[in-house]
Structure 1
Amino acid sequence: MATVPDGLRRVAVFGATGSIGTSALDVIARHPGRLRASVLAAGRNVEALVALCVTHRPDHAVIADPDLLDALANALRAAGLATVPHAGMAALDTLARDADACDTVVAAIVGAAGLDSTLAALRAGKRVLLANKESLVLAGELMLQAAREAGATIVPIDSEHNAIHQCLPADGDCSGVARIVLTASGGPFRGRSRAQLADVTPAQAVAHPKWSMGPKISVDSATLMNKGLELIEAHHLFGMPADRLDVLVHPQSLVHSFVEFIDGSTLAQLGLPDMRTALAVGLGYPDRIASGVAGLDLLRHGRLDFESPDTDAFPCLALARAALVAGGTAPALLNAANEVAVSAFLQGQLRFLAIPALVEHVLATLPAADAASLDVLRDADARARDVATQALTTGTLH
């Protein structure tokens, strides 16, 4: 393993080939004396992972699919790299815990699959740049408890939560906060009525007007489920109850969130819609470091618009808020059902408007229970997937 210079932060990028991972690597590469990508992990794309390894020379590379270990090892060897190959999710957990492998983890694996490695990093007291919202939705209380007990640091990388993080007092004291307002772009279908959404295609849903994101999160943005999941995240990250969390649609995506204080002051964080800003905040925290993102020219942009979300056309936001209020296993049920629904939609097996219908069906079928342990939450996740899959199989929601 390479010798680590004093002050050099060793960063594991989980989800390295995705949009957040590549943005993180762009920021890391801008600070060679301060940051180093020591672990890179991807799902199944060996070629893309090896290409990143050629550029960034990590100590370790992980492919999630165990069947691809030989392909990864051979490709690294052919590229003349000393990077150690690994495969399987257990390898991610091990490297997340390993003090020599990394001190910072960019948690950008999509879906509930990112939970174990994120928990492993928190339990090891690492700095976690949290981009995997599903793990926090699924097990927020357990994750925050793990971070407190191990002295880990969580810096949220969602642009909205990162904005809130920047607006709150550095000591984390939220006693003076009256309300948090998350902003939403409105997605590609802002302004459409429910009837106008009936024939939406996957290609249309993933064409986000402002952000370059993966297909799953792009669909979540189109349904406003993404904003619903972010409400649940904000509840856990900042200790805010549901009645002090709001959402405003802001199509320019320049104001990333607001924090309203009890003295009548409101602070907002503004910036161009580029994930590298939030990643630079997390990688450099508490210092500010260059991200490669230009400053915001408000004169050129001209205006900032805000409107209330349309929960009739986009009921996922209301479903998520109801799950937040219900608590317990309800957010885990919501998240699992949504993952199944979005996957089915992307595969052409489900209509766009049937996504919230499937989520609602699962929540009605499986009442929320106390989330006493990770096993209880995993069981809720599995049962929600079973109920959702069964509904898809019978075709009742198509």
Structure 2
Amino acid sequence: MKHIAILGASGSIGTQALDIIASNPNVFRLVSCSIGKNIDYARKIVQVFEPELLCMQYEADAQTLEHEFRNKKTEFTFGDQGLVDVVSLSSVDLVLNSVIGSVGLLPTLAAINEGKQIALANKETLVSAGHIVMEAARKNNVEILPVDSEHAAIFQCLQSAKSSAELKRLHITASGGSFRDLSYSELKDVTVDMALKHPNWSMGSKITIDSATMMNKGLEVIEAHWLFDVGYSQIETIIHRESIIHSLVEFVDGSMLAQLGVSDMHIPIQYMLSYPERLPMPATMDLSLIELGALHFEAVDIKKYPCFKLALDAGKIGGSMPTVLNAANEIAVNAFLENKIKFIEISKIVEQTMLAHDVISNPQLDDILEIDHQARTFVEHILL
């Protein structure tokens, strides 16, 4: 029995994780979770799973639930400290971090410092503070299990390697997002509704927009750099429209291993929750290569995806620049979703914020938190 804490239980990853927990009651138990603003979904979780602790974003919602469920075993908390409380319960074995944005950083560090196993679906944690997070993981002998389909694929392929010396290159696949068949000049007129129609995956709004700009793929490259301890010259990104091969690993002897599967996040989520064991999945998850017929690959058009290049640049610059990249992108994407800016302005705002930043080569946690705040404030002033 694994005792699970979920940060972001009402999001796309979180709800799928709850599906898996509910389908395997003899394997997993939900101990604690955070919800955000969705109080109706919080009520459902309490009724179905009866966790020990549930965190809401706002105190008023936590108080409402506490009154409604005063005869239940569940306790309620709220805010940033509540996220730390969720992961810090002594009964928690594994923390699934599936919140969106850099808000996932501090609870992840808290969980690592207490020796909890981490299933990471919050790439911003490593983008903003990869050097701090990975050092804490090494110090506390904590293995970080990557939930993103691309990193989960690489993780599985690397199980065959005896040492990092056998690794030559990582190949991260990308669908190309909602606008892969449009030219850059055509992107100036795209709408929010158009951007949210991903061709292959069902995801939350922020990550779907990041997929359309391919910022998401750039963040994944930075994340892979930290997760697998490889240089940026060893990471290649390729467009793979079918999203069947989730990533590939190339070894020094010329061999390549790929992980294939249907476009369903239940698969990597379940594997990381059950790791190192594998659990059966429903037959509907089967992949038929005969029905698929063919797989296609193409190079990334850097001119079409300026956000992708900005992410690569930020990763190679290092230091505090990825923190700025991530913070600026979060605010810019939110502005686009609220119809305050055009789609093509996302990259321009991120670039402007990066150009205004004086890089700190080895930022500490307090530096990162302050730089994150400053970058967000800078973008908010641009949007006025």
Q: Same fold by TM-score, threshold 0.5 exceeded?
A: yes
Question: Is the contact made by 2:34 and 2:86 (CA closer than 8 Å) also made in structure 1?
Answer: no
Q: Distance in 1 between matches of 2:263 and 2:193?
A: 21
Q: Map of 1:193-212 to 2, 5 A cutoff?
A: 193-212=183-202
Question: Is the contact made by 1:259 and 1:268 (CA closer than 8 Å) also made in structure 2?
Answer: yes
Q: Map of 1:121-200 to 2, 5 A cutoff?
A: 121-169=111-159, 173-200=163-190
Superimposed CA distance per residue, residues 183-240 of structure 1 (whole angstroms, 9 cap, x where no aligned partner): 0011110021111111111111111111111111110001000000000000000011
The runs of at least 4 consecutive aligned structure 1 residues that moved more than 6 Å come to none
Bigger drift between 29-38 and 224-233 goes to: 29-38
Question: Is the contact made by 2:3 and 2:93 (CA closer than 8 Å) also made in structure 1?
Answer: yes
- 2:11 is matched with 18
- Distance of aligned partners of 1:226 and 1:351 in 2 relative to their CA distance in 1, 3 Å threshold: same
Question: Is the contact made by 2:5 and 2:95 (CA closer than 8 Å) also made in structure 1?
Answer: yes
Gapped regions of structure 2 (runs ≥ 5): none
Question: Is the contact made by 1:125 and 1:153 (CA closer than 8 Å) also made in structure 2?
Answer: no
- Distance of aligned partners of 1:291 and 1:125 in 2 relative to their CA distance in 1, 3 Å threshold: farther
SS in 1 for 2:164: coil
Compute the displacement of 1:95 (Å): 2.9
Question: Is the contact made by 1:114 and 1:132 (CA closer than 8 Å) also made in structure 2?
Answer: yes
Q: Map of 1:1-398 to 2, 5 A cutoff?
A: 8-77=1-70, 81-100=72-91, 102-169=92-159, 173-292=163-282, 294-393=285-384
Question: Is the contact made by 1:40 and 1:53 (CA closer than 8 Å) also made in structure 2?
Answer: no
Bigger drift between 61-70 and 184-193 goes to: 61-70
Compute the displacement of 1:50 (Å): 1.2
Give aligned-pair identity as a percent. Answer: 40
Q: TM-score, normalised by structure 2?
A: 0.97
SS in 2 for 1:308: coil
SS in 2 for 1:272: coil
Q: Distance in 1 between matches of 2:295 and 2:361?
A: 42
Superimposed CA distance per residue, residues 131-159 of structure 1 (whole angstroms, 9 cap, x where no aligned partner): 00111100011111111111212100000
Superimposed CA distance per residue, residues 255-295 of structure 1 (whole angstroms, 9 cap, x where no aligned partner): 00010000000000000111111011111111111244622
SS in 2 for 1:376: helix
Gapped regions of structure 1 (runs ≥ 5): 1-7, 394-398
Task: Tell me the amino acid that sits aligned with residue 372 of structure 1.
Answer: P
Q: TM-score, normalised by structure 1?
A: 0.93
Q: Distance in 2 between matches of 1:27 and 1:315?
A: 37
Compute the displacement of 1:171 (Å): 7.3
Compute the displacement of 1:94 (Å): 2.3
